[in-house]
Amino acid sequence: MHIPRGKVTALIGPMGGGKSTTLRLMGGQSRAWSGQMLFDGQDLGPMNQKQLYAVRRRMGMLFQFGALFADMSVFENVAFPLREHTDLPEALIRDIVLMKLNAVGLRNARELMPSEVSGGMAKRIGIARAIALDPELLMYDEPFSGLDPISLRVAARLIRQLNDAMGLTSIFASHELKETLAIADHVVILDNGKVAFQGSVEEVQASADPLVFQYVNERPDGPVRFHYPAAPIEEDFGIRAAAAASIRDS
Ligand SMILES: Nc1ncnc2c1ncn2[C@@H]1O[C@H](COP(=O)(O)OP(=O)(O)OP(=O)(O)O)[C@@H](O)[C@H]1O
Ligand SMILES: [Mg+2]
């Protein structure tokens, strides 16, 4: 697949399709068993730890559930990558942290601890931390999960605005179809570890491909499989075909 520079790309598709895996490959947390993962033309596969760190410094990641450090204040969470990767003076760190918190509307939440913020706030704090180092690529794993309809829309708008205001390249994995299609430029549908489709939002919506149609129209029946790949029922239960059929149909 190709993630266009400067655009917002949505990674969608049924659960287990490979969205999180793709983001982990892009961040270098997982290495590809085959094929290549190129970031700005550089192959992440053969990189050593030092090279990987240098590349990661140009990426921001919003983890699922925010993954804030529970024993650090909101301020310290956002300051963390700056302290870890730079030698900036304290006054400058303070200004950058407040600027990033301001960008997500939470400048005044800086003294709170993660246990004192709501789920939606935690996501936004995670976003502030992800943009602390002014990344070129911003990745979000399920930025909308567990949010109320208003917070969800706020988060979606934020992804779009940050991308355009900071000149980023953004990619997010999501199950929220409506907001996703509202903010994305480019859509990649992953199913069963393969790219089932990639194209513009208009192309997704117009696609006659059975899987794309099933997914975009939220149909329970279609080519998307329900079962994790398994041996035939006959084999697992040690029964004959007729009995297997009754399990299959139940
Ligand atoms: N390290 C691994 N080794 C083997 N299989 C793996 C590994 N990591 C993930 N998988 C498998 O790859 C498939 C894709 O998983 P992934 O987490 O990327 O799905 P996803 O699209 O993010 O799904 P969801 O929408 O449920 O979050 C799953 O079947 C999973 O079990
Ligand atoms: Mg996932």
Do 122 and 134 form a contact (C-beta atoms < 8 A)?
A: no
Total of domains in the chain:
1
Residue 2 lies in a domain: no
State yes or no: pLDDT of 41 exceeds 80: yes
User: CATH number, domain at 209?
Assistant: 3.40.50.300
Given a contact cutoff of 8 angstroms between Cβ atoms, the answer to whether 6 and 167 are in contact is: yes
- Does residue 199 fall inside a structural domain? yes
Residue 41 domain-assigned?
Answer: yes
Question: Of 32-41, 61-70, 199-208, which range is least confident?
Answer: 61-70
**Could you tell me the distance, in angstroms and rounded to a whole number, from the CA of residue 15 to the centre of ligand 1?**
8
Q: Is 140 contained in some domain?
A: yes
In a domain, 1, yes or no: no
Residue 156 lies in a domain: yes
3 found inside a domain: no
- Per-residue burial over 185-212, b if 16 or more Cβ lie within 10 Å, else e, is ebbbbbbeeebbbbeebeebeebeeebb
Sign of the torsion formed by the C-alpha atoms of 186, 191, 193 and 194: negative
**Token pair in block for residue 35:** 């094929």
Mean pLDDT of 126-141: 92
* Spatial distance between the Cα atoms of 168 and 175, rounded to a whole number of angstroms: 22
The answer to the question of residue 188 being in a domain is yes
Is residue 16 within 6 Å of ligand 1 at its C-beta? yes
Above pLDDT 90, what percent of the chain?
52
Rounded to two decimals, the pTM is 0.84
With a 6 A CB cut-off, is 15 part of the ligand 1 pocket? yes
What is the C-alpha to C-alpha distance for residues 5 and 139, in angstroms, rounded to an integer? 13
Residue 234 has pLDDT above 80, yes or no: no
Please give the residue range of the domain that contains residue 54.
Answer: 8-249
User: Closest-lying ligand to the alpha carbon of 16?
Assistant: 1
pLDDT value at position 136?
95
